[in-house]
Structure 1
Amino acid sequence: MNKVVNRLFAMCLIMTSVVTVPMSANAALPFFSDDKNEVPSLAPMLEKATPAIVTISVEGTQVSRQRVPEMFKHFFGGPDEQVQERPFKGLGSGVIIDAEKGYVVTNNHVVDNASEITVTLTDGREVKAKKLGADAQSDIALLKIDPDKLVALPLADSDKLRVGDFVVAIGNPFGLSQTVTSGIVSALGRSGLNIGGYENFIQTDAAINRGNSGGALVSLRGELVGINTAIFGPNGGNVGIGFAIPSNMMKSLVDQIIEFGEVRRGLLGILGQDVDSGLAEAMNLDVSKGAFVSEVSADSAAEKGGIQAGDIITDINGIAVVSFQELRAKIASKGAGSKIKLGLLRKGKRLKVDVVLGDATQAVVAAKEIHPALEGATLSNGATKQGDTGVVISDLVARSPAAMIGLQDGDVIIGVNRQKIDNVIALRNSLDEAKGVIALSVKRGNSSLYLVIR
């Protein structure tokens, strides 16, 4: 049976029940008891950590749109799209990260499209939650609840994690609240899984199942190192390969949501690829990991910082970069205007450059930087007359590849292969992930149409 990546959608009808764990009288040490008659235990650490893990129940209506074939519209008339609404309920997990302000972090896919969100605390209280903001590309959402007698989980520096470190996953798999599993960090910087737009996952063999979405991955000190988000296995079952969003990445995104109400991604302004053995041999490189820079955009943060095509980016703020995807995810999670220091390898020499990141949400780029078929147009973030956000086409060159596929000045691209896109960076991500024939969903005035890239 083929293995597939499965979102941990928590649609479960099993009634929740609390799993109690015996606690040691000594909570001073992370997991050892001072009673010589007792064996080593994680109970003292869990006694402090588990009150910060909550159950999240959601209700809402999922809206699906299907384009009506032109033939049917010609004979029967009617709207361009058929709209269907289906009510849904679901369960997931969350982590209290600020007890005084009532901030709870979970996955975006747990609360996406939810009209009502209820948080159940470990003491049995049920409180309503408000979504302050979310980021679908990184699968992070921030909720706020009444800050009454809450316990928060302290954050660890996830950049200090090492493969082999012991970790514990806490969440509500299949509606079974406060379930604890243990394992190790199996790998770091995992990407290329097609789970989300920005992938820089911690991989662990701690058992993670449906309903663990948004739960905590903690260290033996009881500190949050990651937010559980996905599993890799047949039929969505646990096979010891789970993934979590690093706590540092989560915190950067949450800080932006708190400050701006949205994520304002940093933008470096480069194109590139992973460094592998083939590229290392062709370029006569003495490294086998990192991010190879193939192109630097004009007037970008990278150009202003002195980065050149052919450079290998080896680290960001002193933390090694394994792949281009990892670099991309780390840059995107940092806010616009952030100052970073990049380590480079250029013609055998190592150097450091300081870069101030641009703002990806205000990007205006030449379309050829996104996809060859779009060459000849300028792309910018904007909206349709109906208020749908997307990517606006402007300065279209006659007989260019973009014009040949049917684009016109003023068109707004709002989707790729039926996947909604809101801005230039989302368009780039969707086109990077798309394979084979690509269908662009375009708004032109009051009309909707699809343009095909082959």
Structure 2
Amino acid sequence: MNQKTYWVSAIISILTGTCIGLAVLLIQEKQKTPITSYSSPVKAATPSVVNIYTQIAEPKAFNDTNEVKHSINLGSGVIATKDGFILTNHHVIQNAHSIVVALHDDRRVEAKIIGSDPSTDLAVLKIGLPNLPSIKMGKSDDVFVGDQILAIGNPFGIGQTVTAGIISAKGRNSIGLNTYENFLQTDAAINPGNSGGALINLKGELIGISSAIYSSTGGSQGIGFATPVDDALEVMADIIKHGEVIRGYLGMDAKKITKALAENLLLPSESGLLVSDITKESPADKAGIEIGDIILEINNTPSKDPFQIRHLIASLKPGTNISLRGIRGQQSYQTNIMLEKQPTMQRITY
């Protein structure tokens, strides 16, 4: 190699290294730069978020001979598919005899109810319009506590509104709002009218359906709840296919056994679930499960959390056989039970 070639190669190597170094520094600096605008994810997601107006007939007053009065309720929804399926909350469309969906581009159209699921407070509507902007779906496993998120909806009917916050918690399941709870908790302002709207990440992807607020005044107090996107999509798929959500049904209610409970009731185990109620003619009743039994395992899964078992049973289809291991008195037992279809209006939560 002559001297000229050597110097050319050396200069090229130095320039290449410099360029790579600058690129790395720029990337690192960009990652450090604080977010000053949410306009990109908002621009991506807002066309898919709709306002929902429902007309509900008010009960007639005693001896009232006038015409039936109607009230207009407000809510939000999310266009989930290009062919017009919309996710919203069950309580948004409950008892409605007329539903109008208002799109971001000012188009308005009447919607048809495909089905709803009171147990998760979700519902699916269908509209017949062309060129519908469906939202991009995120994944529940990609959502973490501390993530920055945005809530989009129609609070108080004032029009589409965006609020920002973080994911405050995941897996909230003892709020007492629904039968099956697995809420994302957020401090993004969620107010009446936001129900059924979108919770999105900073990529503009749907990560949840805004469902409820925790409030003593009716307004936002920094505690809002949303159904995770994976749960919402599962419910939507069942409703589209069957008109309802098909769940397994065992027919019992049980409480978590704590050390204090075990000591007070002189129970033979300090873990498991204590059966507190059995529905007559249910699979649990037919299998001989009794109030006072202690359930230790279902399908080899330790029974320590009633919410976990509730979701396990609900996730299985009718006709599925489960194994159950329990204790009655001082005697342990094992039995197999065939799950049935959960009744539409069922108080027992398993």
Same fold (TM > 0.5):
yes
Partner of 2:14: none
CA distance in 1, matches of 2:116, 2:123: 4
Partner of 2:22: none
* CA gap 1:158/1:278 in 2 versus in 1, 3 angstroms: farther
* CA gap 1:344/1:280 in 2 versus in 1, 3 angstroms: farther
Structure 1 position 169 matched with structure 2 position 151: yes
Partner of 1:413: none
Give the superposition deviation at 1:242.
1.0
Counting strand residues as a fraction of each chain, which structure ranks higher? 1
Which stretch of the first structure deviates more once superposed, 54-63 or 183-192? 183-192
Residue number among 236, 239, 246 corresponding to 1:264 in the alignment: 246
Structure 1 position 86 matched with structure 2 position 69: yes
Give the superposition deviation at 1:160.
5.5
**Percent of aligned pairs with the same residue?**
37
Residue number among 328, 336, 344 corresponding to 2:317 in the alignment: 336
Letter in structure 2 aligned against 1:260: H
Residue number among 179, 183, 186 corresponding to 2:168 in the alignment: 186
SS at match of 1:236: coil
Partner of 1:375: none
Residue number among 86, 90, 96 corresponding to 1:108 in the alignment: 90
Counting helix residues as a fraction of each chain, which structure ranks higher? 2
CA distance in 2, matches of 1:253, 1:227: 12
Cα distance per residue 1:329-378 (max 9 Å; x no partner): 5644x4733869999999xxxxxx999743112xxxxxxxxxxxxxxxxx
Letter in structure 2 aligned against 1:221: K
CA distance in 1, matches of 2:278, 2:141: 27
CA distance in 2, matches of 1:83, 1:136: 32
Letter in structure 1 aligned against 2:97: S
Letter in structure 1 aligned against 2:50: V
Give the superposition deviation at 1:214.
0.6
Residue number among 76, 81, 87 corresponding to 1:98 in the alignment: 81
Residue number among 294, 300, 316 corresponding to 1:310 in the alignment: 294
SS at match of 1:98: coil
Give the superposition deviation at 1:83.
12
SS at match of 1:45: helix
Give the superposition deviation at 1:97.
0.9
* CA gap 1:226/1:330 in 2 versus in 1, 3 angstroms: farther
Q: Any residues of structure 2 matched to 1:391-402 within 5 Å, and which? A: none
CA distance in 2, matches of 1:169, 1:321: 36
CA distance in 1, matches of 2:248, 2:61: 32
Residue number among 111, 115, 118 corresponding to 1:136 in the alignment: 118
Cα distance per residue 1:292-345 (max 9 Å; x no partner): 66688899777999x99534469x999x9984245425644x473386999999
Cα distance per residue 1:177-207 (max 9 Å; x no partner): 3311122222233344332343332221111
Structure 1 portions without partners, runs of 5+: 1-31, 69-81, 347-352, 362-421, 433-454
Cα distance per residue 1:213-253 (max 9 Å; x no partner): 11112223333222111111122011111111222332222
Letter in structure 2 aligned against 1:264: I
Structure 1 position 221 matched with structure 2 position 203: yes
SS at match of 1:209: coil
CA distance in 1, matches of 2:124, 2:40: 28
Structure 1 position 50 matched with structure 2 position 46: yes
* CA gap 1:35/1:251 in 2 versus in 1, 3 angstroms: closer
* CA gap 1:291/1:162 in 2 versus in 1, 3 angstroms: farther
Letter in structure 2 aligned against 1:215: G
Give the superposition deviation at 1:261.
1.6
Structure 2 portions without partners, runs of 5+: 1-26, 328-334
CA contact (8 A) 1:275 1:323 kept: no
CA distance in 2, matches of 1:183, 1:221: 15
CA RMSD in angstroms comes to 4.3
Letter in structure 1 aligned against 2:318: G
